[in-house]
A and B are shown apart, each in its own frame.
Chain A
Amino acid sequence: MTTIREEMWKFKGILFNFAISDLKIRYRNSILGIFWSLIEPLLILGVLFVVFSTMFKFEIPNFPIYLLVGIVCYNFFKNGTTFALNSLTNRSALMTQIYFPRAIPPISSGITAALILILEIVVLAFFIVIFQFAPPITILLLPLVLGLLFVLVIGISLPLSVLNVKYKDTEFLWQVIVSAGFFLTPIFYQFDMMPAQVQNVLQFSPMVQIVTMAHHVVLYGTLPTINSILFAVGSISVITTVGYLIFRKYQAKVVEEMW
Chain B
Amino acid sequence: MPEYAVSVKHVSKKFKLYHEKRDTIFEAATSFFQKKLHSEILQALDDISFDVKRGEIFGIVGPNGGGKSTLLRIISKIYAPDSGSVDVKGTIIPILALGLGFHPELTAITNIYQSSILLGFPKHEISKRVDDIIKFAELEKFADTKVKNFSNGMQMRLAFATSVLVDPDILIVDEVLAVGDIRFQKKCAETILSFKKRGKAVIFVSHGMDVIQEFADRAMFLNNGKAEKIGSPADAIAAYGDFCRARDKLDDSSNK
Interface residues of A (CB under 8 A from B): 10-11, 13-14, 17, 21, 24-25, 28, 91, 93-100, 252-253, 255-256
> From residue 81 to 139 of chain B, which have CB atoms closer than 8 A to chain A?
94, 96-97, 99-103, 105-106, 110, 113-115, 117-120, 123
| 0 or 1 for each of B68-91: is its CB under 8 Å from A? (1 = yes) | 000001001111100000000000
Q: In the complex the two chains form, is A21's CB within 8 Å of B103's CB?
A: yes
Contacts A21-B110, A28-B105 given; indicate if A97 touches B99 (C-beta within 8 A): yes
Q: Which residues of B contact A100 (CB under 8 A)?
A: 118-119
Partner of B96, one of A11, A25, A97, A256: A97
Give Cα A21–Cα B101 distance, bound, in whole angstroms. 15
Instruction: Check B97 against A97 for contact (C-beta < 8 Å).
Output: yes
Neighbouring B residues of A10 by C-beta, 8 Å: 120
* Residues B117 and A94 in contact, CB atoms below 8 Å apart: no
Bound state CA distance, A25 and B102, in angstroms?
14
Q: Assess the A17–B78 pair: CB atoms within 8 A.
A: no
Is the pair A97, B103 in contact by a Cβ cutoff of 8 Å? no
Known A13-B123, A253-B80, A255-B79; judge A98-B100 contact (CB<8 A): yes
Interface of A is mostly: helix
Known: A17-B117, A98-B94. A256 touches B101 (CB 8 A): no
B50 beta carbon closer than 8 Å to chain A: no
Say yes or no: A98-B79 contact (C-beta < 8 A), given A17-B113, A28-B105, A93-B103: no
Query: Chain B's nearest CB lies how many Å from the CB of A20?
Result: 10
Tell me which residues across on chain B come within 8 A of A93, comparing CB atoms.
99, 101-103
Q: Do A14 and B117 touch (CB < 8 A)?
A: yes
Q: Which of A25, A28, A93, A253 is the most central at the interface, judged by chain B CB atoms within 10 Å of its CB? A: A93
Look across to chain B and name the residue whose beta carbon is closest to the beta carbon of A97.
B101
* Contact, CB under 8 Å: B99 / A98: no
Measured between C-beta atoms, what is the minimum distance from A65 to chain B in Å?
38
| Whole-angstrom distance between the Cβ of B90 and the nearest chain A Cβ | 14
Across the interface, which residues of A come within 8 angstroms of B123, CB to CB? 13
What are the residues of chain B within 8 A of A13 when measuring CB–CB? Answer: 117, 123
Tell which of B15, B79, B97 has the most Cβ of chain A within 10 Å: B79
3 smallest beta-carbon distances between A and B, as pairs: A94-B101, A99-B77, A97-B101
Quote the shortest CB–CB distance from B65 to chain A (angstroms). 14
Q: Could you tell me the distance between the alpha carbons of A128 and B58 in the complex, rounded to whole angstroms?
A: 67
A94 touches B97 (CB 8 A): no
CA distance A252 to B81 in the complex (A): 10
Bound CA–CA A99/B77 (angstroms): 6
Question: What residues of chain B lie closer than 8 Å to A98, measured between beta carbons?
Answer: 76, 78, 94, 100-101, 115, 118-119
B94: chain A residues within 8 A (beta carbon): 97-98
**Inter-subunit contact A255/B78 (CB<8 Å):** yes
- Candidates B73, B80, B97, B105; contact of A25 at CB < 8 Å: B105
Q: How far is A100 from B76 in the complex, measured between Cα atoms in Å?
A: 10
Taking CB atoms, residues of chain A closer than 8 Å to B103 are: 21, 25, 91, 93-94
B99 touches A99 (CB 8 A): no
Name the CB-closest residue of A to B15.
Answer: A256
15 more A-B residue pairs beyond the given contacts A91-B103, A94-B118, A100-B119, with a C-beta to C-beta distance below 8 A: A14-B114, A14-B117, A17-B113, A24-B105, A93-B99, A94-B114, A95-B101, A96-B78, A96-B96, A97-B94, A97-B96, A97-B97, A97-B99, A98-B78, A256-B15
Residue pair A17, B101 in contact (C-beta under 8 Å): no
A-B contacts, 26 of them at CB < 8 A, read A10-B120, A14-B118, A17-B113, A21-B114, A25-B105, A28-B105, A93-B99, A94-B103, A94-B115, A95-B78, A95-B101, A96-B73, A96-B97, A96-B101, A97-B78, A97-B96, A97-B99, A98-B76, A98-B78, A98-B101, A98-B118, A99-B77, A99-B78, A100-B118, A253-B80, A256-B79
